Every structure is written in C-alpha cells, then in structure tokens.
C-alpha cells in the first residue's frame, strides 16, 4: 500500500482551459474501484474535470476493491480503458487521444486498497491512509463513492460509520455518493434511508441519478425559467398532454442477472423518467438552492395520482431486427429465466393532482430494443379553438408540439402550421429546430463530470433527497403490487426493433391521441398520422 500525494501543479493545458471555480482539495474514495462504472465513467469524468481546470492540486483518489489489484496495476488498467474508450470513439468518452500530462497528473494521485469491503479490516487501513493524506494536505475532506452493487450500500456506510470515517470535524466534510438503484420498491427505499440516516446526515448524502448529469436535462430548467415565453403557456389551459419517451436500441446485454430481477419499470421510471417529469412539471422553485428545488420535486411526485394498473402497459421483446441486425428474444438472453415475466418495456399514463396540470395526461414510455434510440419530451399544445379555414377542419390542423430532445442530437423543435405556397389556402405542418451542435462546441463529457464536481463543491441540487426518492417509489408502488399479483398475459409481446407493444398505442388511442413515431424527424411532427 502506497499513498500518492503528489502536488505537482495541473498541466499547463489544463490551467489554460480553466474557466470556472476549482473544487476544494479532497480525497475521492471509490468503492468498486476496479469495477466497470469506475473505468467507463468515473475516471474518464475525473480526467475531463481535470482538463476543464476543476480539480484542485491536492485532489487524491483512492480505489477500494476486491481482487489482486494493486496501485500500479490499477493505474495501468485504467489507462488501458481510457485508451480503448478514446480509440473506440462510439461510447460516452470521446477524445482524440489521451493527454499524457493530464493522465500522469491523475495517475500520480491514485492509490488502490485491495480487500473485502464487507469486512472491517479494510476500513482500518483506509482510515490510516486518509489520516496520512489529511495531515499532508491540511484538510480531511473525503468524498466516498459507492460504485458497487446496491446490496452493499447499507453495509459499507455502516462500516464507514463504525470506523468513524463519516465524522465531520474541524470544518472538514465527509460525503457519500450513492449510485442507482436506491431501493427496489417503497419499503426497501424507506429501509435503506432509515439505515443510512442513522449514520449520515441528509446533507452528507448524494443519491445519484445520472440523467441529471445530462446537459440537455439541466437545460430544461433554463428553458423554463430563463425565458419569458414558455411559462404563460405551461399549464392545463394550453397543453393538452405530454409524451415522454426513453427508447433504447440496446437489449439487456450482459446485465441479465440484474435486469431479470428489476425490469423496465423499476430500472427507468421512478428515477430517470421521473427526473425528466420533475424538470418539466414542477412549480418554479424560489431559488436554485438544493433544498428549494428538491422540495418542488417532492411536492410534484406527491401530487401524482395513484397510478391505476389499467393505465400501464408492460411488454417484453421477442427476437427481431434492431438497426439491421438480428437479435434474440429477451427470454433467450444470458442469465434470464426461460419463462421470465420481467418487462423490458413499460408505457403508462399518469395524472398530476394540482391546479397547473389538472386533466393533462402525462404519457411515459421506455423500453429496450426499440426502433431507434431517442429520449425526448413532447409537449402537445391544444388545437386552435375553431376552424377559420373552411377546407381544413380544426382537428386536421397540424399540431403545435414542443419537443425537447434529450439524446441523441440534443436540441428542441417547435412544430406549427404554415401556408403552403400557392393560390389556395393549404395548410402544412412545419418545424423550427434548434440543435445544440449548431450553436455550441460539443462538450467532452461522459455525463458524470457535473455530478462529481457538484459533490465536491457541496451542491446537492442535482441529487435526490430521501423524501423525493420515497415519493417517487410511492407513486409506482400500486403498479408493482398489481403486477406481483397478476402475471403478464402474452409475453413476449413486441418484436425487437419495433415501437413496442400494440397495447401501448391503445393506451393513447383511448384518449384520442397517438404516440409520436419513435425517432421521427421534427418537420413531420405536427402531422396527424
């Protein structure tokens, strides 16, 4: 065990790019240091933060994990992974190559502690290492990152507590980042909150939802609250309904074991989709202070009318063709039960019981192996009130839809009616489109930079509070209960590469609406199908 406490200044390139505030000096302790999340996302995010000039010279990294890894082999493995991510270029980490100065700066600050984090012994070693680092650095700030399977969250925090590693003294802070999933239903989320709140105070806990690390998700707040034109329209008088889609073109890949016990509802709805929902539907907070924003989110989730199981459609993919490639059905995936009743698709309708959203249905859908990869929110405005144009009855006028594209091709579009050039009044649907890439340099990000940086500076605005997480689980719990009591009928019920089960179309057709086609271009959006 060695401790790396190099305090060489940040590379010149880094300093030149620095624009914002540097995070205070601290040690980041990553449980699951040798795991996939650390390699693919956490370390690339640190590298990007360094290059953006956001890491202090006294920043240190400690990896904790099982296996035969040591500091040298850890640094080597991480370097290899960064190299292959950069070379691949198709994943989250895009770089023309690794900046050697920046990498060496990071690598010098890395130490690996090998051991079993379910046993007390490693915590004594960690304590000794952190004490040594604190003395050299002159502060004891530590951010613990639990990049491990959720079954370890409670136990690790208890060990940290017993070893007195969570105690904040002399103005130093101790914070803990907890990855998803936070519970698998309301009861388990409550139990986990109760367990960790015996050891930590709420302001030490950072429950991550990586959707909030996406620029385009954060931009929804700017769109709503930094512009005057949207808010007057943002209510039941002008909006007929809202569609939210998170469609994926990946299947469960190697995650069958995890996914078969989880399913699309738990995996995506009370967390990622609800975070999008909150950005769209919450009331304006009095400030962007973490507690003001989180209070508004909790208020919104608490206003969700208990979801009726009749308003929910579940689906499971059969074999099919995705992006031109034949793929197998869910039940044939590795580590998935051959008669699995786990859903890989869910669509639901929910109502929000408050003045702003009374009688405005929100339709949410998400699924694996769908026709295109797209995450978006489409706000459908009410039709013009009467038919001024005799040849075009009002219900046939193209719809006004504001579509916020979260990924890919981040941006937004507004579709509306225009007169087709010519002697007759012929109306057509057109769109105004804004793409981030047309205005801004693409940011090199894996989506975790802002989240890690915010933890280091103590800004919890993008993280979940205990009551917010519980309110979200509370909203979906009736569905989980109903499904547990009633197995799905016909599974599988959609072909991989399709738009999902037919029943999802009927869910909207009942109300006189139709889903926007998954992955359609903005200009076609206003057209009735």
Q: Which long-range contacts (CB under 8 A, 24 or more apart) does 318-325 make?
A: 318/492, 318/493, 318/494, 318/495, 318/496, 319/495, 319/496, 320/369, 320/495, 320/496, 320/497, 320/498, 321/495, 321/496, 321/497, 322/249, 322/251, 322/369, 322/496, 322/497, 323/249, 323/497
Buried b (16+ CB within 10 A) or exposed e, 168-198: beeeebbbbbbbebbbbbbeebbebbeebee
> Tokens for 19?
């624009």
- For residues 168, 181, 404, 444, the Cα torsion angle rounded to the nearest 10 degrees is 60
Q: Counting every residue, how long is the chain?
A: 529
Per CB under 6 A, 410 contacts ligand BG6: no
Q: Closest Cα partner for 64 from 136, 139, 134, 143? A: 143
Q: How far is the CB of 342 from ligand BG6 (least distance, A)?
A: 12
Q: How far is the CB of 100 from ligand BG6 (least distance, A)?
A: 29
Per CB under 6 A, 267 contacts ligand BG6: yes
Per CB under 6 A, 343 contacts ligand BG6: no
Per CB under 6 A, 248 contacts ligand BG6: yes
CB 160 within 8 A of CB 152: no
Q: Which residue in the shown chain puts its C-beta closest to ligand BG6? A: 267
Q: What is the total count of residues that contact ligand BG6 (CB under 6 A)?
A: 4
Q: How far is the CB of 180 from ligand BG6 (least distance, A)?
A: 5
The answer to whether residue 272 is catalytic is yes
Within 313-332, the residues that bind ligand BG6 by CB under 6 A are none
Within 127-186, the residues that bind ligand BG6 by CB under 6 A are 180
Site map 176..195 versus ligand BG6, x via CB under 6 A = ----x---------------
Site map 84..123 versus ligand BG6, x via CB under 6 A = ----------------------------------------
The residue annotated as part of the active site, out of 76, 272, 305, 380, is: 272
Residues 6+ apart with CB under 8 A from 283: 296, 299, 300, 356
Closest to ligand BG6 by CB, 180 vs 236, is 180
Q: How far is the CB of 246 from ligand BG6 (least distance, A)?
A: 6
Question: What are the helix and strand counts (H, E) for the chain?
Answer: 17, 18
Q: How far is the CB of 368 from ligand BG6 (least distance, A)?
A: 7
Closest to ligand BG6 by CB, 66 vs 180, is 180
Closest to ligand BG6 by CB, 316 vs 375, is 375
Instruction: Point out the residues that are catalytic.
Output: 272
Chain positions contacting ligand BG6, by CB under 6 A = 180, 248, 267, 375
């Amino acid at each position: 065990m060695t401790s790396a406490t190099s305090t060489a200044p940040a590379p010149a390139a880094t300093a030149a790019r620095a624009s914002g505030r540097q995070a205070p000096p601290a040690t980041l302790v990553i449980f699951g240091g040798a795991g996939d999340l650390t390699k693919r996302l956490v370390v690339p995010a640190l590298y990007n933060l360094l290059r953006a000039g956001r890491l202090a010279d006294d920043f240190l990294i400690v990896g904790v994990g099982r296996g035969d890894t040591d500091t040298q082999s850890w640094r080597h493995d991480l370097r290899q992974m960064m190299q292959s991510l950069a070379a691949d270029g198709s994943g989250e980490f895009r770089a023309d190559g690794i900046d050697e100065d920046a990498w060496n700066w990071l690598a010098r600050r890395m130490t690996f502690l090998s051991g079993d984090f379910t046993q007390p012994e490693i915590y004594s070693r960690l304590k000794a290492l952190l004490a040594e680092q604190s003395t050299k650095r002159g502060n004891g700030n530590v951010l613990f990152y639990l990049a491990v399977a959720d079954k370890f969250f409670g136990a690790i925090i208890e060990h940290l507590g017993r070893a007195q590693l969570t105690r904040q003294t002399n103005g130093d802070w101790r914070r803990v980042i907890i990855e998803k999933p936070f519970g698998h239903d309301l009861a388990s989320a409550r139990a986990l909150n109760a367990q960790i709140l015996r050891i930590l105070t709420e302001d030490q806990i950072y429950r991550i939802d990586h959707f909030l690390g996406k620029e385009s998700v954060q931009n929804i707040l700017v769109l709503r609250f930094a512009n005057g034109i949207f808010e007057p329209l943002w209510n039941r008088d002008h909006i007929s309904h809202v569609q939210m889609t998170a469609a994926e073109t990946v299947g469960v890949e190697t995650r069958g074991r995890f996914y078969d016990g989880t399913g699309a509802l738990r995996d995506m709805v009370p967390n990622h989709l609800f975070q999008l929902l909150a950005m769209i539907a919450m009331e304006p907070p009095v400030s962007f202070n973490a507690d003001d924003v989180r209070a508004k989110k909790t208020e919104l989730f608490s206003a969700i009318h208990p979801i009726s199981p009749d308003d929910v459609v579940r689906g499971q993919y059969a074999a099919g063709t995705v992006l031109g490639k034949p793929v197998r059905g869910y039940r044939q995936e590795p580590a998935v039960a051959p008669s699995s009743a786990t859903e890989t698709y869910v669509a639901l309708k929910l109502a929000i019981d408050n003045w702003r959203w009374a009688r405005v249905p929100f339709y949410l859908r998400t699924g694996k192996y769908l026709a295109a990869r797209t995450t978006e929110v489409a706000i459908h405005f009410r039709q013009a009130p009467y038919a001024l144009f005799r040849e075009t009855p009002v219900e046939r006028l193209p719809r006004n839809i504001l579509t916020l594209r979260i990924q890919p091709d981040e941006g937004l579009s507004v579709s509306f009616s225009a007169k087709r050039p010519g002697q007759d009044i012929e109306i057509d649907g057109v769109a105004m489109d804004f793409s981030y890439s047309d205005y801004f340099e693409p940011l090199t990000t894996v989506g975790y930079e802002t989240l890690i940086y915010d933890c280091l500076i103590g800004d919890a605005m993008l993280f979940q509070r205990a009551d917010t997480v519980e309110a979200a689980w509370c909203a979906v719990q009736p569905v989980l209960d109903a499904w547990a009591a009633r197995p799905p009928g016909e599974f599988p019920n959609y072909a991989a590469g399709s738009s999902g089960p037919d029943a999802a179309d009927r869910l909207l057709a009942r109300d006189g609406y139709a889903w926007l086609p998954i992955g359609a271009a903005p200009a076609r959006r206003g057209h009735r199908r």
